[in-house]
Amino acid sequence: MTTKNIHEAALAEVRENSQTEAEFVIRPLYPGYGNTLGNSLRRVLLSSVKGAAITAFSIEGTTHEFTAIPGIREDVVDIMLNLKNIRFKMHTDNPVELTLEMKGDKQSEKDGDKRVVAGDIKLPAEVEIANPNQVICHIDDPKYTLKMRFVVESGCGYLTIDQAAEDRIHSDMIAIDAVFTPVLRVRYKVENTRVGQDTNLQQLTLTIDTDGTITPKEAFEEAAAILINQYTALAGSTRVESAPAPGSDKEEEDTGLLLPIEELDLSARTANALLNNDIKTIRDLVTLSESDLKDLKGFGQKALDEVKEKLTELNI
């Protein structure tokens, strides 16, 4: 079923403030649609865009998180907090195991503790780290060798430590709660705008900040696609035919495309062939190619020539 036309908004402008921040301007919107779109996009961006994070780890010589490690300045809880800040980009949906091995050296005694960062983790081809300078811990004993293992998984939203413990691959590893979402912050602003003579319209400006594993544009498009999939499933067979934006130059021009096929003054045979194939308006007709028309039941070359002649007369 197709319902009456409704004017559709457009992505009017994209302002890229940096590699990780961008503003998306959507207009024109009918009154109330600014908050409707802004709130729904914000919630999906923060909860449903896919990302990756560490869900479990182990340190050689430790069995649980409530312990100190001889040779490491931080305790295990501090290391856990640092691991949660590492931002991963994965090119696979399967869990990936990573390793890190770092030995203290003589420089530790002279210049201070040896710093271990995310960039020291050994990475396979399917995993990248967006912030390699993120500190994991400091080795304060030059004779100590740090050996760690990690499990990195992809997901959406937030994984509690209880869920991580239940689903962990290796029982000897320490589970960690994970924040998968690559979107750090989303703000939106709704303002009044006008198009032509229509002043009762709104403009939505959506600002997206990401962690660098995904661009704001990729996050925006993924969130929009998620919403489309959800609403399409709910809409069933009902479709809303979109019309030009209110006040736009094309609005008057495209009104002619909504005229019924009968207005073309075609022969009864040609008109009936179109109507029998559910082509009821001029817009339905012009969206079809010549090959599409030839494939219609009861529509031959003579009918095609007649239609082309009529559309030429109307400058369509």
Task: Indicate the domain borders of the chain.
Answer: 2-49+183-249, 50-179, 259-313
CB 245 within 8 A of CB 8: yes
Residue 111 — very low, low, confident or very high, per pLDDT cuts 50/70/90? low
CATH numeric code, 2-49+183-249: 3.30.1360.10
CB 282 within 8 A of CB 257: yes
CB 265 within 8 A of CB 313: no
Q: Helix 268-276 crosses helix 301-313 at what angle (to 10 degrees)?
A: 100
How are beta strands 88-90 and 114-117 bridged, if at all?
unpaired
pLDDT at 164: 76
**pTM score over 0.75:** no
Instruction: Find, among 177, 187, 163, the residue nearest to 24 by Cα.
Output: 187
How are beta strands 88-90 and 127-129 bridged, if at all?
antiparallel
Range in 82-86, 169-173, 274-278 with the lowest mean pLDDT: 169-173
CB 96 within 8 A of CB 124: yes
What distance in Å separates the CA atoms of residue 99 and residue 74, rounded to the nearest whole number?
A: 19
Instruction: Find, among 114, 117, 115, 118, the residue nearest to 128 by Cα.
Output: 118
259-313 shares the fold of 50-179: no
What distance in Å separates the CA atoms of residue 304 and residue 148, rounded to the nearest whole number?
A: 72
pLDDT at 245: 53
Residue 301 — very low, low, confident or very high, per pLDDT cuts 50/70/90? confident
**Statement: residue 28 has pLDDT above 90:** no
pLDDT at 7: 55
- Bond prior to 28 in cis (omega within 30° of 0): yes
Range in 75-79, 90-94, 140-144, 152-156 with the lowest mean pLDDT: 140-144
Q: What is the pLDDT of residues 154-189, one digit of tens each?
A: 999 888 888 877 777 777 889 898 899 999 999 999
Residue 89 — very low, low, confident or very high, per pLDDT cuts 50/70/90? very high
Q: Per CATH, is 259-313 categorized as 3.20.20.210?
A: no
* CATH T-level assignment (fold) for domain 50-179: RNA Polymerase Alpha Subunit; Chain A, domain 2 (2.170.120)
pLDDT at 282: 78
Q: What is the mean pLDDT of residues 119-131?
A: 94
In percent, the amount of the chain with pLDDT more than 90 equals: 46
Q: Kindly list the distances between the CA atom of residue 3 and the CA atoms of 6, 50, 235, 237, 270, in Å, as whole numbers in the listed order.
A: 9, 34, 12, 11, 26
Q: What angle do CA 258, 263, 266 make, to 5 degrees?
A: 125
What distance in Å separates the CA atoms of residue 175 and residue 168, rounded to the nearest whole number?
A: 7
DSSP 81-95: HHHTT--EEES-SS-
Instruction: Find, among 112, 57, 102, the residue nearest to 82 by Cα.
Output: 57
pLDDT at 2: 47
CB 46 within 8 A of CB 182: no
**Statement: residue 289 has pLDDT above 90:** no
- Of residues 307 and 98, more confidently modeled: 98
159, two tokens: 């994984």
Q: Kindly list the distances between the CA atom of residue 244 and the CA atoms of 37, 174, 227, 247, 257, in Å, as whole numbers in the listed order.
A: 19, 56, 22, 8, 11
Range in 76-80, 114-118, 164-168 with the lowest mean pLDDT: 164-168
How are beta strands 178-179 and 183-195 bridged, if at all?
unpaired
In percent, the amount of the chain with pLDDT more than 70 equals: 87
